[in-house]
Amino acid sequence: MYRIRLFATRHARAFEWLYAGLERVMIAADPVFRRIGYQRIERPVALIERAAKGLLFDCKMCGQCALSSTGMSCPMNCPKTLRNGPCGGVRPGGYCEVKPQMKCVWVLAWDGASRMKNGDRIGEVLPPVDHTLKGSSAWLRVSREKAANLRSATEAARTVVAQSFPAARRNEPSTAPLAPEPPAAQGRTEA
């Protein structure tokens, strides 16, 4: 497991690319997920996430995944569970103060981030862990939030267009509609 963890940080750029692809797929699947019900798929998705990330990153399922900001090195493997690091106790050679046989999680994180396209995100300060989210799927939460933001942005854009053409709306409302497409017109039913 430890070796795979080291492999993941060495190939952080490839994992960043894979993560972005997975996120796109999950956002695209949002209409299906809403139809089934997010609460119903939470458990199976969390199980898959636990298995995949447990193998690759020694994931502890904190529920607020930071991998994309931490060079694909899971901060929950730091013995001090620091969400921002490294601390001041890194040993010579980049080893952990608490577990001297282990490379510092945060030294690996900065190394992994240096290989990533958006590696500068490691400079952003992360909030403390919210333990109420432990065990939940971070994949599902993030893709659900992004899909909801996309939907609101689309609806807001539609409203802006409609409000820019008051005369058109007065004379021929269908040319600048305010109302979203009904689900039936999009070949789906409301969740």
Stretch that binds ligand SF4, among 2-10, 14-22, 55-63, 92-100 (CB under 6 A): 55-63
User: 95-134: which residues touch ligand SF4 (CB under 6 A)?
Assistant: none
Instruction: Pick from 6, 41, 61, 162 the residue near ligand SF4 by CB under 6 A.
Output: 61
Number of CB atoms found within 10 A of residue 98's CB: 12
- Which tokens go with 30? 């949002």
Closest separation in Å from C-beta 48 to ligand SF4: 13
Structure tokens at 35: 């139809």
With beta carbons less than 8 A apart as the criterion, state whether 122 and 110 touch. Answer: yes
- The yes or no reply on residue 46 touching ligand SF4 (CB under 6 A) is no
How many Cβ atoms are within 10 Å of 148's Cβ, its own excluded?
Answer: 13
Is 5 among the residues that bind ligand SF4 (CB under 6 A)? no
Task: Determine which residue in the list 53, 113, 119, 176 makes contact with ligand SF4, applying CB under 6 A.
Answer: 53
Tell which one of 8, 26, 66, 78 touches ligand SF4 (CB under 6 A): 66
Residue 139 as a binder of ligand SF4 (CB under 6 A): the answer is: no
- Terminal-residue alpha carbon distance, the chain: 40
Question: Which residues are registered as beta bridge partners of 103?
Answer: 95
Query: What is the distance of C-alpha 36 from the center of its chain?
Result: 21
User: By the criterion CB under 6 A, which residues form the site for ligand SF4?
Assistant: 53, 57, 59-62, 65-67, 74-76, 138
